[in-house]
Amino acid sequence: MANTRAMANGNGAAVRSAKAEHDEEENIFLFYPNLIGYSRVVLAVASLYYMPLHPRTCSILYSISCLLDALDGLAARRFEQSTKFGAVLDMVTDRCTTACLLVFLASAFPRWSIIFQGLISLDLASHYMHMYATLSMGGAGQSHKKVEASRSWVLKMYYSNNKVLFTFCALNEVFFIALYLLSFSSPYLSPTLLKNSDSPSSLQAGTPAAPKPSMIFTSPWSAGAMEMARANKMDSTVPWILAIVSSPIMLGKQWINVVQLIKASRWLAEGDRAERKKQGLPRKKSNGKKRQ
């Protein structure tokens, strides 16, 4: 009888142990794709630190951060660790890093700042509207990358094919990185880099009118530090090639953003009409006047 109880107690402990192990909560924040996402954030912040003064270091760090965007998706599929948190982390990182780079370009090219401001607004608005429309109209369990062809064949092709999605996102970033490098290397885009040797300058080194650079830019964080960084000779050939090659894809990406914004707006409007109809709105008003 005692042996039976001991066996029962032993089996019960084993069952409880197995159940406890099964019921143990997974730490979503330590999934491999999310760890890659955190490293992307660190690399992006590091690239922003070097952005005003060290174009080569910044470009390398920023590019690695962008390339890891493809790796986290592979890890999610390989280890079956696709999560909503990971998808949102990935999208937020993409939007924030691109916006920060465009903010810098707006300061580097003040004449065209309104264009960069418009691109930031379009990027944020289209993705927010698309995400919100997917969650509110498609259900909480539906991914923003699942788009029906009947709703938009462009977005269907863009989101359903990983190669197409990676190509558009990668070359879009390549264009802005190339433009960033050109702000340090091309006198055609940055006239301050152009030195006219034919007409001698009225400012001669050593005169009070032209003090030493160390007297002007006493701090590497001063407003003129970027002009000092531009004195670091860079060849603009490769950035020009990258900008020209990637420009059609960049324009295509902006067109997709416009399509995404319009389609999401129409989808939300469909939901609003259905909801108002369910509530009996607009209410019919009586045209007849009450008799006295």
Q: Residue 41 region, left (φ>0) first, then alpha (ψ -120 to 50), else beta?
A: alpha
Give percent of the chain above pLDDT 90. Answer: 55
* Structural domains in the chain (count): 1
Whole-number pLDDT of residue 257: 97
pLDDT in tens, 14-63: 555 555 555 678 999 999 999 999 999 999 999 999 998 889 999 999 99
Classify the phi-psi angles of 139: left when phi > 0, otherwise alpha if psi is within -120 to 50, otherwise beta.
Answer: left
Flag whether 20 is in a domain.
no
Confirm whether 23 is domain-assigned: no
Three-state DSSP state, 231: coil
Three-class secondary structure of residue 181 per DSSP: helix
Catalytic residue list: 94
Residue 121 lies in a domain: yes
- The alpha carbon dihedral of 20, 21, 23, 26 has a sign of positive
**Rounded percentage of the chain residues whose pLDDT exceeds 70:** 74
pLDDT at 192: 67
Instruction: Provide the CATH number for the domain around residue 256.
Output: 1.20.120.1760
In a domain, 18, yes or no: no
Q: For the chain, what is the largest distance between any 2 Cα atoms, rounded to a whole number of angstroms?
A: 110
Rounded distance, CA 219 to CA 150, Å?
58
Unique residue bearing structure tokens 């709105």: 281
Considering only CA atoms, which of 82, 106, 136 is closest in space to residue 270?
Answer: 136
Residue from 140, 33, 50, 135 nearest 93 by CA: 33
**Tokens 């000092």 identify what position?**
228
202, 208, 217, 225 from 214: Cα distances, Å: 20, 14, 5, 11
The whole-number pLDDT of residue 12 equals 55
Question: Has residue 17 been placed in a domain?
Answer: no
pLDDT tens for each residue of 77-136 = 899 999 989 989 999 999 999 999 999 999 999 999 999 999 999 999 999 999 999 888
| Residue 235 forms part of a structural domain | yes
154 is in which domain, residue-wise? 28-191+227-277
Q: What is the pLDDT of residue 206?
A: 43
Token look-up 């916006």 returns 99
Query: What is the distance between the alpha carbons of residues 101 and 108, in angstroms, rounded to a whole number?
Result: 11
Q: Which run of H or of E encompasses 123?
A: helix 113-137
Q: Is residue 10 part of a domain?
A: no
The pLDDT tens digits of the residues spanning 142-200 come to: 777 888 888 889 999 999 998 999 999 999 999 999 999 999 888 888 776 655 444 44
pTM of the complete model: 0.80
